[in-house]
């Protein structure tokens, strides 16, 4: 059943600001027009941040940690569910799930929200970091700054880190079972999730006991659209094997001339040394290290994460 905003959008056929700062943005694609959901918090003439969530196919929900930090710093930010995710429309056609089409979607969202180089910061976490890098390489003239959080600029390097650093210390019996389930295509088996939670997630995704994971994270992960996630990321949680397998933009980072913050964490699924190195490749790069954090350092090293993020946004906005 369509929600009220879906009925309204279908009836009017236009972008509109609904209650609570929600804006439905029409997005043109090769397969027709669809709508995506955004929500603004705050109003700043200097710094407006568009948040690109991970997954691919997750939702904005795990970004709700921002509510405890960014408003007090006077920073405007926009939640955004990418097409196929969360509150946005969910067309069932794999031809839509390409990096290039998602980049054009972000650009249409930017225009609809009236964000420009006087105040537009693009923030990408995990898969959102891939999307943010690709957007910046094509449309950096619209940016005031860029944040790449917990995402290496090379999937081959990420896979090598998983194989050579993350997997060897794991319980090898459990690892063998994980790989066996992946090889047989049985990754929807509850046992797969159970093994990953015990041997990987609580060590490298969010360093808290599973029962203590914050509700917005649990909610966002429960809403991941597997029809987007699997084609791009691949079925494995220990590396990438989908359409992103050969993605590598490291050699192109020097072309991104806007102030850029790269965020890494000691226990991340992404190599923190590589992330620090990445930051030196941007002409105006800066690195933020979260010594207690993992892939979701915005939760398990929260004070470090948000203090560094806010410092960067305030410095770059002035």
Told to judge if 88 belongs to the known catalytic residues of this protein, a careful annotator would answer no
Catalytic residue among 60, 200, 223, 295: 295
Torsion sign across C-alpha atoms 233, 155, 197, 83: negative
Torsion sign across C-alpha atoms 310, 311, 317, 318: positive
Told to judge if 318 belongs to the known catalytic residues of this protein, a careful annotator would answer no
d(CA 318, CA 314) in angstroms, rounded, equals: 6
Question: Are the C-beta atoms of 89 and 225 separated by less than 8 Å?
Answer: no
Burial class (CB in 10 A: 0-12, 13-18, 19+), 203: middle
Catalytic residue among 35, 126, 154, 294: 126
As a dihedral over the C-alpha atoms of residue 205, residue 209, residue 211, residue 215, rounded to 10 degrees, the angle is: -40
Give the C-alpha distances (Å, rounded to integers) separating 235 from 83, 190, 232, 263.
20, 14, 9, 26
d(CA 49, CA 34) in angstroms, rounded, equals: 23
Catalytic residue among 268, 271, 300, 301: 268
Told to judge if 85 belongs to the known catalytic residues of this protein, a careful annotator would answer no
Active site residues per annotation: 126, 268, 295
């Amino acid at each position: 059943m369509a929600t009220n905003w879906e009925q309204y959008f279908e009836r009017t056929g236009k972008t509109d600001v609904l209650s609570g700062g929600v804006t439905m943005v029409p997005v043109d694609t090769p397969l027709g027009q669809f709508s995506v959901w955004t929500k603004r918090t705050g109003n700043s003439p200097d710094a407006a941040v568009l948040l690109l969530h991970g997954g691919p196919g997750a939702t904005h929900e795990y970004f709700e940690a921002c509510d405890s930090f960014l408003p007090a710093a006077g920073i405007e930010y926009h939640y955004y569910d990418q097409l196929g995710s969360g509150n946005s429309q969910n067309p069932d056609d794999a031809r839509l799930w390409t990096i290039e089409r998602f980049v054009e979607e972000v650009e249409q969202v930017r225009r609809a929200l009236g964000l420009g180089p006087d105040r537009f910061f693009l923030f990408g976490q995990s898969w959102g970091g891939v999307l943010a890098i690709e957007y910046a390489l094509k449309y950096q003239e619209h940016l005031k700054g860029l944040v790449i959080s917990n995402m290496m600029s090379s999937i081959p390097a990420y896979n090598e880190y998983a194989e050579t650093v993350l997997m060897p210390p794991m319980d090898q019996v459990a690892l063998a079972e994980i790989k066996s389930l992946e090889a047989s295509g049985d990754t929807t088996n509850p046992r797969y999730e159970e093994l990953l939670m015990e041997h990987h997630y609580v060590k490298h995704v969010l360093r808290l006991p599973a029962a203590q994971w914050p509700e917005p994270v649990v909610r966002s992960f429960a809403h991941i659209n597997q029809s987007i996630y699997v084609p791009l990321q691949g079925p494995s949680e220990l590396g990438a094997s989908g359409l992103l397998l050969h993605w590598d933009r490291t050699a192109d980072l020097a072309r991104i001339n806007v102030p850029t913050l790269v965020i890494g964490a000691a226990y991340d699924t992404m190599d923190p040394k590589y992330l620090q190195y990445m930051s030196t490749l941007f002409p105006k790069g800066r690195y933020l290290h979260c010594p207690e954090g993992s892939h979701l350092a915005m939760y398990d090293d929260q004070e470090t994460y948000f203090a560094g993020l806010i410092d960067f946004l305030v410095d770059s906005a002035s």
